[in-house]
Amino acid sequence: MKAHQNKWITIFAVGLAVLLSGVVQADLRQGYFTDVKPVPGLDSPYQDRGPSISADGLTIYFCSGRDGGEGDWDIWMSTRRAVGASWGAPINPGPPINSPAWEASPHISADGLRLYFQSWRGGGYGQGDIYVAERASTSVPFVEVHNLGSGVNSPANEYTPSVSPDELTLYLSRGEGADGFDVYVATRSLTRAPFDSARRVANVNSSANDKYPSISSDGLTLFLDSHRLPNTGPSGYEELWVATRSSCCEHFSTPVNLNDFGLGSSVNGPTAVEFAPCISRDWPANGSKLYFAVGISESDSDLYEATWVVPCPYYVAGDLNDDCRVDFLDVASFAANWLIDCNTTPEDAACVPK
Ligand SMILES: [Ca+2]
Ligand SMILES: [Ca+2]
Ligand SMILES: [Ca+2]
Ligand SMILES: [Ca+2]
């Protein structure tokens, strides 16, 4: 067969596959976290931790011991013009979110209208309590702050809230008893109703500190940090762990180390402390993000991110770059291969007998 005939047959085949590619789309969950790196532009020489990313990926909240706030630790925020663009200089939203007391572990709701966080401002139920700040639209500042009440808060230390997209389920951590922090869950029937009494989440807690739950949007995967053993780093260092379930009616599984989750990853390192995970609202979409904190020293931690990659587990005719889609990238790849002159470069891997 003549070379130019092969070329047009190939382009026709790829084009046909493009038209048919919708047939082979599937729900993909198996993937891995990679491209672990600091979030640029948000660092300070002090503790920066507790990231929470808005659903549109354009605003990030975190807590920091840096100077320039209302006193003690505060919640800070940064925005960017588009996903992938640089983060702007962090700003302090001021009161009523921040106060002279300690504020930490912000968590922004899916609609961006409520910011859950921990504060030691007093007047609550004792030690740290979880509060929520509210606003009427995402274009105006938060104006009201409420204590979440006695279902969530207690004389013990409540910390690290994470809410479901409908805000009817709240995960948190509470430090009491011999087992250090444990992960709790509280539910309510209406967003304006108080939460029921928080209870320990079955299977996910250990005798070590277990905290910073981050619930996936579908409610089936719970990320957390834990001091439990065995871990990847030095004994007793915090690392990121993951618990899963197949439906929201079931208990979570016993957590697995994040490095053993999915197809495996290397988020937990052998020397650093990894903690405070926040899974993006679009996870497990290909390219979605996990934000977390990495301890640099006793007095310094920074915000990091990792990217979820989903290789295609199915054979898709014409999918040359293994992304489960057949599109112009595959056409370009095919065309590039075709243009290799096998008569002059027969050793090239792209050369096939014609
Ligand atoms: Ca820092
Ligand atoms: Ca403060
Ligand atoms: Ca409390
Ligand atoms: Ca515990």
Neighbours of ion ligand 2 (CB under 5 A): 70-72, 74, 98, 103
Whole-Å CA distances, 11 to 15, 16, 249, 338: 6, 9, 49, 10
- Who has greater pLDDT, 239 or 325? 239
Q: How far does the centroid of ligand 2 lie from the alpha carbon of residue 114, in Å?
A: 19
Whole-Å CA distances, 290 to 129, 221, 255: 26, 13, 17
Tokens 């599984």 correspond to what residue? 253
Which residues, 6+ apart, have CB-to-CB distance to 19 below 8 Å? none
Q: How far does the centroid of ligand 3 lie from the alpha carbon of residue 128, in Å?
A: 4
Residue 57 Rama label (left phi>0; alpha psi -120 to 50; beta): left
Q: How far does the centroid of ligand 3 lie from the alpha carbon of residue 124, in Å?
A: 7
Q: How far does the centroid of ligand 4 lie from the alpha carbon of residue 13, in Å?
A: 57
Q: For the segment 180-230, what is each residue's pLDDT rounded down to a tens digit?
A: 999 999 999 999 999 999 999 999 999 999 999 999 999 999 999 999 998
| pLDDT value, residue 337 | 65
Ligand nearest to the CA of 205: 4
| pLDDT value, residue 170 | 98
Which residues, 6+ apart, have CB-to-CB distance to 202 below 8 Å? 251, 252
Report the greatest alpha carbon distance in the chain. Answer: 84
Question: If you average pLDDT over every residue of the chain, what do you get?
Answer: 89
Which residues, 6+ apart, have CB-to-CB distance to 165 below 8 Å? 110, 217, 281
The answer, yes or no, to whether residue 347 has pLDDT greater than 50, is: yes
Q: How far does the centroid of ligand 2 lie from the alpha carbon of residue 94, in Å?
A: 9
- Is residue 184 classed as helix, strand or coil in its secondary structure? strand
Q: For the segment 260-281, what is each residue's pLDDT rounded down to a tens digit?
A: 999 999 999 998 899 999 999 9
| pLDDT value, residue 242 | 98
Please give the domain boundaries of the chain with CATH numbers for all domains: 42-281 (2.120.10.30)
Q: For the segment 135-184, what is each residue's pLDDT rounded down to a tens digit?
A: 999 999 999 999 999 999 999 999 999 999 999 999 999 999 899 999 99
Q: How far does the centroid of ligand 3 lie from the alpha carbon of residue 29, in Å?
A: 37
Spatial separation of the C-alpha atoms in residues 57 and 22, rounded to whole Å: 27
DSSP secondary structure letters along 81-107: SSTTSPPPPPB---TTT--SS-EEEEE
Q: How far does the centroid of ligand 3 lie from the alpha carbon of residue 102, in Å?
A: 13
